[in-house]
Structure 1
Amino acid sequence: MPKTSMLRAAEPFLAAERDAVYKAIFTRRDVRDQFLPDPIPGDVTRRLLNAAHNAPSVGFMQPWNFITIRDQAVRERIAHAFGKANDEAAAMFPEHKRSEYAALKLEGIRKAPLNICVTCDRTRGGKIILGKTHNSNMDLYSTVCAVQNLWLAARAEGIGMGWVSIFRDADLKSILGIPDRIEIVAYLCLGYVDELYERPELEVKGWNRRLSLEDLIFEERWQGEP
């Protein structure tokens, strides 16, 4: 009996398939306030998490966990923790930028029907992990790949997603019962949307602009400013 191959042909996608991948990449947006109240069905949530779980990870360690949060009372506590941290963040900016910062909507914790906290277990796989021997942060980078997979899958499903990063980790760990050894990588808000900005919201509102790709590509060695 012939031996079954564990490999498959690395054929390029058909044009329509390829275009769909690039469409997800180029139209993905950080959603904050455009969420609809419609709940995300369980099978769709499962597809999104399965996409995240199929992200690449160094040494195949798969260091992530996903905490799904729908309870309104829990989200209220998290939104309160965000509010405290957001006030601290606003005070860090120069005075002339504070009003502009205050006008930005930076989270959708209450409005999005599904919140997901993505964590990284830095002890998973043991002390010596293939590919992590000389860069101890590879588990964190791997978990970020899972977040990106989730984001692109959400876009393909017509679901908006926003990444909330303005927290004190200790507050979030206390609310969600996360052990000290576990690193919080992302707090995400997800929900259906009927509109998305054509360009990133912070670009539309003048907070920043997209850099030129040509200025970011170097050939053979570093060529930036000293």
Structure 2
Amino acid sequence: MSPPQFSEDFIQKLNKLFSWRRDVRHFQTTPVEDTLLDQLLSIACMAPSVGLSEPWHYIKVETQKLRQEIYTLFKTCNEQAAQQYASEQQQLYSNLKLSGLNEAPHHIAVFSEENPAQGKGLGRHTMPETTAYSTVMSIFSFWLAARAHNIGVGWVSILPPQKVKTILSVPDHWTFIAYLCVGYPQFQYETPELEQRGWEKRNPDRKQWIIR
């Protein structure tokens, strides 16, 4: 079978998709259709993985009790994190919206198997962490596919892994990778919100090759 030939128009639209991939914090409460969520999961599972191990596990957190436990955990961690900054930065930090846990209609926790039988260990004898890297690739595939359907994704990265594993009752050999808020965004913007709010800006040096 001949590989597909992608047009210049498609390439330009793909570049626009990369540009408009945002970490969303402001969500509408309207749920995403189950069939569309299933489609996004199927695309996520097309991601490359070391040794074809497919180490990822996606959990839809739908129980209100569990969601509330996650939110309470987030609040505690967020308050502790704020204390690590000097007073000026602390005020800026407190004005950041760092999760959409209360608004997002869907919570998705993503875990990675540390040493899955699938793949038979290929490619990870010297770098076992590549299973986690593979799961991150899967998350990014999910994220881009979601954006193409005008669905927002927000990664809540402040949660302690072991406590999340306990709340969600997952096996010990699963590594917590991400807790995602998913839903239709309230706002659309190309510039990252952290840059808009003056927290940080992109580093142009990152676009340059390092030559050795």
Sort the TM-score into its range (normalised by shorter chain).
over 0.9
Runs of 4+ with >6 A deviation: none
Contact in 2 for aligned 1:32/1:108 (Cα 8 Å)? yes
- 2:12 equivalent to 1:23: no
Deviations for 1:12-69, whole angstroms, at most 9, x for unmatched residues?
A: 3122322232221110100012x11111111100011111111000100000000012
Contact 1:72 1:110 in 2 (8 A): no
Range with bigger deviation, 180-189 or 190-199: 190-199
In 2, distance between residues paired with 1:215 and 1:91?
33
Normalization by structure 2: what TM-score?
0.94
Q: Which amino acid aligns with 1:9?
A: S
Q: Provide the secondary structure at the position in 1 that maps to 2:83.
A: helix
Decide whether the 8 Å contact of 2:51 with 2:119 is kept in 1. no
Counterpart CA distance in 1 for 2:185 and 2:82 is: 28
Report the counterpart of residue 68 of structure 1 in structure 2. 60
The match for 1:54 among 25, 46, 52 is 46
Structure 1 unaligned regions, length at least 5 = 1-7, 222-226
Residue equivalent to 1:136: 128
How far apart are the structure 2 equivalents of 1:180 and 1:85?
22
CA distance in 2, matches of 1:171, 1:78: 9
Name the CA distance, whole Å, in 1 between partners of 2:109 and 2:70: 11
SS in 1 for 2:199: coil
Unmatched 5+ stretches in structure 2: none
Query: Partner amino acid for 1:123?
Result: N
Paired residue secondary structure (2:178) = strand
Aligned-partner residue type, residue 188 of structure 1: L
Query: Radius of gyration: which is bigger?
Result: 1
Task: Give, in whole Å, the separation in 1 of the partners of 2:157 and 2:206.
Answer: 29
Change (3 A) 1:96 1:212: same
Q: Output the CA distance in 2 between the equivalents of 1:158 and 1:56.
A: 24
| Contact 2:55-2:112 within 8 A present in 1 as well | yes
Displacement of 1:79 in angstroms is 0.4
Question: Could you tell me the TM-score, scaled by structure 1's length?
Answer: 0.88
Matched to 2:59, the amino acid is I
What is the number of residues matched between the two proteins? 212
- The SS at the match of 2:170 is coil
Matched, 1:121 2:113: yes
| Partner residue, 2:204 | 212
Write the distance in 2 (CA, Å) between the matches of 1:179 and 1:11. 41
**Which of the numbers 64, 74, 79 marks the counterpart of 1:87?**
79
Q: 1:56 to 1:198 in 2, by over 3 A?
A: same
Return the offset for 1:155.
0.2
Provide the aligned C-alpha RMSD in A. Answer: 1.7
Secondary structure class of the residue paired with 2:40: helix
Tell me which amino acid in the other structure corresponds to 2:23.
D
